[in-house]
Amino acid sequence: MVPSILFEIMLIGLLGIGSQWLAWRYRMPAIVVMSVAGLLVGPVFGIMDPEEDFGNLYGPIITVAVAIILFEASLNLSFKELRGLGKPIFRITTFGAFIAWILGSLTAHYIAGLSWAVAFVIGGLFIVTGPTVILPLLRQSKLKPRAAKILKWEGIIVDPIGALLAVFAFEIISFFTAQNPDGSDLVMFFAASIFAAILGWACGRGIGWMFETGNIPEYLKSPGVFIVVILCFTVADEITHETGLLAVTAMGITLANMGISSVADMRHFKENMSMLLISAIFIMLTASLQVEILLEIFQPRIIGYVILMMFIVRPLSIFISTIGTDLSLNEKILTGWIAPRGIVALTVSSYFASILADAGYAGASIITTLTFGLVFFTVVAHGFSIGWLAKKLHLSMEGRPGTIIIGSNDFTVELAKSLMKVKAPVIIVDSSWERLRKTREGGIPFYHGEMLSEQTEYHLDTTPYEYLIAATEFHSYNALVCTTFMPEYGRTNVYKSSPYLMQDNSTDDIVDKIGGRVLFKEDISMDFLSDQVNNGYVFRQTTLTEQYDYNRYLSERDEDTVLLYVLKPSGKMYYYSEELKMTPEAEDIVVSLAPPNKKNKKIQEKLETQRNSNQ
């Protein structure tokens, strides 16, 4: 066992973030790695048992963390995303959820052997997927926008619905099995649910109003929001269990659709906090499981229940509920397969396991085992299959990582053409139709609009792009764009053209110190690159070999050659900058802007002579 609670907290954080890093490094599902790590330090080796060690604090810690995660996820649910998807999402989160509840309850009764009462409670709970498992999968799989939005909206909306459905089923069962039925509890449940939704809306509007009117300072905005989230959740949950999830979801959606810039500014901080909480909770929950539960998972009735839930109940609920919508067959297949259960299912099921067992309902003793079996098998199966299935169904963004180029000019147009030749996605964004003229004439994908505009966020699909290059003539604007998108793309994937001013050997104020890496070299400005293109310089690809290695390439290249980017056989790309630490190897392709060879130079001179003679 761990020597102290402090050491255990440290270990939970280390294992959680370490699992996330391993998943990123080796392209594995993060939730699978976290689950395995928790099982190893918990029931397998007995290093820690958070539920026992934290005592009475264990439940509230998990509950508050779930509330914050669900709020952060719902803060991304802007109704503008629903253009063209409103009908299928509504169908899936209503009719689809109802069908899944009925079919799941029947399966729990006839296959898992639960009593009707327990089956309907657990059937309502198991319709949830949730942001704790869906968002890591979407981050890993790079689905096309439509499929990703459907899974995201379903996971976040159905999370509180599933918990409330379980409570509703329990209240109904309690009402009909009571010796003296009293409908006041049912009325109280519905009233509490309505109150929770109104409370969430009111908290969201209240925080939004304070932000808009300047009644809260910048440094208190993030802490203030978190405290109000906990307040909103606790008040609703104290009245009726699980209505707190509905309250924080309503609060998040309300804030997301008020169009407040301060909320967008805080989003990345909240995403980081959510990532930390998800990592910690998965470790805590899996580490708290008992060996007996792990062994019971492999009982035939539990295995049979999980198989039917994955291969029959989920696909049927999606296919039936989306009849008459514009979802393609491939989108229905993917959505019908991907439904991992996560933290909400585990935490709420443990609450009902004790209540139903105390009430003497048959089958309540295996609720925890059944829940973990469904969570573990769906997490593993869907975590490892989502990327492969998405590619087979043509619903993933395949190929080389793409680049968004901000600013249309002579150099960026030719750079985009070179990227298109190596089949790397590229798009040029500019707010001027005149500057986009050469881009359009070159057949290059483009977006006419302001990159920093809110409308661009909803109209420009950024899924295929991992790199961003700000290359306008305004250096301060380039720095602002890079600073804005750095949290989304990562510090190493955001570049700006050099702010170096050739005429006086100085930099443009302080913009060289902020926002993104300087593209290529600090003494190579965008004006210089455009001039080189106009002077006949060409984009050249050089494939390195064992004989013709990188050192030889550098020694033999023309001194005026500008190194642009490197293509790896794996498809990975690296743009040159003075911070680049990677050394190209054999089979890598080095792309450069090089002087024309002698033949090209003669043609250029001939054209220049003809041009002068015609004047």
Flag whether pLDDT at 388 surpasses 80: yes
**Structure confidence by residue, pLDDT tens digits, 79-123:** 776 666 778 888 998 899 999 999 999 999 999 888 888 888 888
The pLDDT value recorded for residue 28 is 75
For all residues of the chain together, what is the average pLDDT?
81
Fold category of 5-392 in CATH: Na+/H+ antiporter like fold (1.20.1530)
List of E strands, 82-221 = none
Among 186-190, 306-310, 486-490, whose mean pLDDT is lowest?
Answer: 486-490
**CB burial class (10 A; 0-12, 13-18, 19+) of residue 40?**
middle
pTM of the full structure: 0.69
Query: What is the rounded distance in angstroms from the CA atom of residue 556 to the CA atom of residue 14?
Result: 48
Exposure on the CB side of residue 592, measured as CA atoms within 13 A: 17
* pLDDT average, residue stretch 387-404: 81
Decide whether 5-392 matches 402-613 in CATH topology. no
Please give the structure tokens belonging to residue 121: 């409670």
CA atoms within 13 A on the CB side of 379: 28
**pLDDT, position 530:** 84
Exposed / middle / buried, residue 214 (Cβ in 10 Å: 0-12, 13-18, 19+): exposed
For the chain, domain boundaries: 5-392, 402-613
User: How far, in Å, CA of 89 to CA of 86, rounded?
Assistant: 5
Query: CATH classification of 402-613 is 3.40.50.720, yes or no?
Result: yes
Structure tokens given for 106: 């029947």
- For residue 399, name the pLDDT band (cuts at 50, 70, 90): low
Within 10 Å of residue 175's Cβ, how many Cβ atoms? 15
For residues 129 and 31, give the distance between their C-alpha atoms in angstroms, rounded to a whole number.
13
Amino acid identity, residue 518?
V
